[in-house]
């Protein structure tokens, strides 16, 4: 790193900044960072609204959500603002445009931070990259995108990082389960796609998943398929068991009756053949009867195993060395449905340099995370104490009102205690 300082005397005159010397110091990193190409970077400082377009989507149904420019209820720096979803039960859609680019022969790093202050129980916290030309005022859940990336939480079953890649109009989900953070603090999500078609997913600057686009998404047709022309050979014996030819039905087996007359039954003494009809003894199950005869089974010595069609090269497979390329990236957007709002997005970055992204991550999220955690703990403590105080207050209130009530019966001095007065009046009625 090199420290460059310019002393600008003209600036001194123009701005008339007293007798002080005016100096601008620029930190110029000469290493890899110097070569980083930044396609888009947004810290949501003042003026962010000029760069982002709120969509009109769902406005006519009055279910379009809005964005609060804030650092949130707890933060590491109250001046470091992002944009936060509000109110509850809304659709959110907002996007920003950047000069169109292709990531061919370059790494693509897509990074942002999100804090779910509301303790997100069901909703998305992801962002999208879109290509080509879109009408940002109409950006919606229906708008085709190229990449969707970030956390998604719903109930106990869905707590994952989405990494969806679109190809030929179809969206392909990553086949691996990448868990996301579920607490109420800011977390950083980074998706890196490299020209060798490998990728990494980082959470809080730590690699959580990696691999390649071919194996972890179904972007291409399979390389091999079951031979559709293969047929099971006629002499293929797929019976694992056969009847045991040695096992023969015992002679007279079928003559054994299912039921027999009860040998212990006796005609009742008062049975009257003329009135009651002829007495027939009741039947009982025959203990000798063993059901229909079944031949024993033995392993088939000629068993050839389960038949499977052999795999052949898929004629529809065509390898694509540009599988990782998104040639017309042009917008970044947030499009969500949230039951409980309060997700705060910040520090959106699109670059070709994972090292630069790492550096930005440390300077933003990394620098503030401990202070934010402390602020959150403080807020939680305060809430807890308030809750405790409220409970004790309630107890005292009850005691007080009992006492007040008896007072009121004698004198009506306390005009400010309208509620209690009304209550006691009701009691009297
Ligand atoms: C915006 O966020 C701040 C900080 O949490 C909060 O005080 C304010 O009420 C929020 N505004 C809206 C409209 O939600
Ligand atoms: C992708 O990863 C799989 C599994 O690790 C590996 O078998 C395959 O060779 C890789 N493909 C490429 C193109 O690197
Ligand atoms: C097994 O195959 C041989 C030759 O085809 C045949 O002779 C024999 O009967 C078969 N055995 C059984 C149990 O099917
Ligand atoms: C405590 O009571 C106050 C006043 O009634 C209320 O505004 C606050 O939300 C309560 N706090 C908690 C944590 O319940
Ligand atoms: C109590 O009674 C007064 C006068 O009748 C009324 O104006 C006020 O709204 C009542 N307050 C409550 C909390 O019911």
Which pLDDT belongs to residue 394? 59
Cα separation, 7 vs 25, whole angstroms: 9
**CA dihedral sign, ordered 126, 132, 136, 141:** negative
425 annotated to bind ligand: no
Q: Kindly report, residue by residue over 170-200, the tens digit of the pLDDT.
A: 999 999 999 999 999 999 999 999 999 999 9
DSSP H or E run through 221: none
The reply to whether ligand 1 has any atom less than 6 angstroms from the CB of 70 is yes
Q: Does ligand 4 have an atom closer than 6 angstroms to the CB of 385? A: no
Q: How far apart are CA 344 and CA 42, in angstroms?
A: 13
CA atoms within 13 A on the CB side of 213: 25
pLDDT attached to residue 395: 56
Kindly identify the ligand whose nearest atom is closest to the C-alpha of 421: 5
**Interatomic CA distance for residues 137 and 215, integer angstroms:** 37
Question: Is the CB of residue 140 below 6 angstroms from any atom belonging to ligand 1?
Answer: no
What pLDDT was estimated at residue 420?
41
Q: How far does the centroid of ligand 1 lie from the alpha carbon of residue 361, in Å?
A: 25
Tokens representing residue 386 in the block: 């308030």
Instruction: Calculate the CA 176 to chain-centre distance.
Output: 13
Is 415 annotated in some ligand binding site? Answer: no
Q: Cα(359)–Cα(214) distance, rounded to whole angstroms?
A: 29
Ligand 3 binding pocket includes 301 (Cβ within 6 Å):
yes
- Over residues 237-286, the pLDDT tens digits come to 999 999 999 999 999 899 999 999 998 888 888 888 888 888 888 899 99
Tens digit of each residue's pLDDT (9 = 90 or more) over 16-73: 443 333 333 334 444 444 589 999 999 999 999 999 999 999 999 999 999 999 999 9
C-alpha to C-alpha distance for 400 and 359, rounded to whole angstroms: 59
- By most ligand atoms within 8 Å of CB, the mutation choice from 73, 380, 388, 390 for ligand 4 is 390
Q: Is the peptide bond before 186 cis (omega within 30 degrees of 0)?
A: no
Does 42 carry a binding-site annotation?
no
CB atoms within 10 A of CB 127: 25
Atom of ligand 4 lying closest to residue 383 CA: 13
- C-beta 68 within 6 A of ligand 1: yes
Nearest atom in ligand 2 to the alpha carbon of residue 212 is 1
Closest C-alpha among 151, 182, 154 to residue 164 = 151
Q: In this predicted structure, what is the pLDDT of residue 414?
A: 39
Residue 232 to residue 226: CA distance in whole angstroms: 13
Burial 93-122 (b: 16+ CB within 10 A, else e): bbbbbbeebebeebbbbbbbbbbbbbebee
Does residue 66 line the site of ligand 1, with CB under 6 A? no
Mapped onto helix, strand or coil, the DSSP state of residue 129 is strand
Instruction: Give mean pLDDT, residues 73-86.
Output: 96
Indicate the domain borders of the chain.
1-35, 38-217+322-378
Gap between the Cα atoms of 373 and 370, Å rounded: 5
CATH of domain 38-217+322-378: 2.60.120.200
What's residue 265's pLDDT?
Answer: 87
For residue 46, report the phi and psi dihedrals to the nearest 5 degrees.
-55, 145
289 labelled binding-site residue:
no
Which atom of ligand 2 sits closest to the CA of residue 198?
14
- SS3 state of residue 269: coil
> Which is the closest atom of ligand 4 to the Cα of 384?
13
């Amino acid at each position: 790193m090199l420290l460059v300082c310019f002393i600008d005397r003209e600036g001194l005159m123009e701005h008339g900044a007293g007798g002080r010397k005016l100096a601008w110091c620029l930190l110029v990193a000469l290493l890899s960072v110097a070569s980083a190409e930044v396609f888009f970077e947004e810290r949501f400082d003042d003026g962010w609204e000029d760069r982002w377009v709120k969509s009109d989507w769902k406005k006519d149904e009055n279910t379009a959500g809005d964005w609060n420019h804030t650092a949130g209820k707890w933060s590491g720096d109250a001046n470091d603002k992002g944009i936060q979803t509000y109110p509850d039960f809304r659709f959110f859609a907002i996007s920003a445009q950047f000069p169109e680019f292709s990531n061919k022969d370059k790494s693509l790093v897509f990074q942002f931070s999100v804090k779910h202050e509301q303790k997100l129980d069901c909703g998305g916290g992801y962002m999208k990259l879109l290509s080509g030309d879109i009408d940002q005022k109409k950006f919606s859940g229906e708008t085709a995108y190229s990449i969707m990336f970030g956390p998604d939480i719903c109930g106990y079953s869905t707590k994952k990082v989405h990494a969806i890649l679109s190809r030929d109009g179809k969206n392909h989900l990553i086949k691996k389960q990448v868990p996301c953070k579920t607490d109420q603090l800011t977390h950083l999500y980074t998706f890196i796609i490299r020209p060798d078609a490998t990728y990494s997913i980082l959470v809080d600057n730590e690699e959580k998943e990696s691999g390649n686009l071919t194996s972890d998404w179904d972007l291409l047709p399979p390389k091999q398929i079951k031979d559709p022309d293969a047929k099971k050979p006629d002499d293929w014996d797929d019976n694992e068991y056969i009847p045991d030819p040695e096992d023969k039905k015992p002679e007279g087996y079928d003559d054994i009756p299912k039921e027999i007359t009860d040998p212990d039954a006796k005609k009742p003494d008062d049975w009257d053949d003329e009135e009651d009809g002829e007495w027939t003894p009741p039947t009982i199950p025959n203990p000798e009867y063993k059901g229909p005869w079944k031949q024993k089974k033995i392993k088939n010595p000629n068993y050839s195993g389960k038949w499977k069609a052999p795999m052949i090269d898929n004629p529809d497979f065509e390898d694509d060395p540009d599988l990782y390329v998104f040639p017309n990236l042009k917008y970044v957007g947030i499009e969500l449905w949230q039951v409980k709002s309060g997700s705060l997005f910040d520090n959106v970055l699109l670059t070709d340099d994972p090292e630069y992204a790492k550096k930005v991550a440390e300077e933003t999220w990394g620098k503030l995370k401990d202070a934010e955690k402390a602020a959150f703990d403080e807020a939680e403590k305060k809430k807890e104490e308030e809750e405790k105080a409220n409970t004790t207050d309630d107890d005292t209130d009850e005691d007080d009102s009992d006492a007040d009530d008896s007072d009121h019966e004698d004198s009506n001095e306390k005009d400010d205690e309208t509620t209690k007065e009304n209550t006691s009046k009701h009691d009297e009625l």
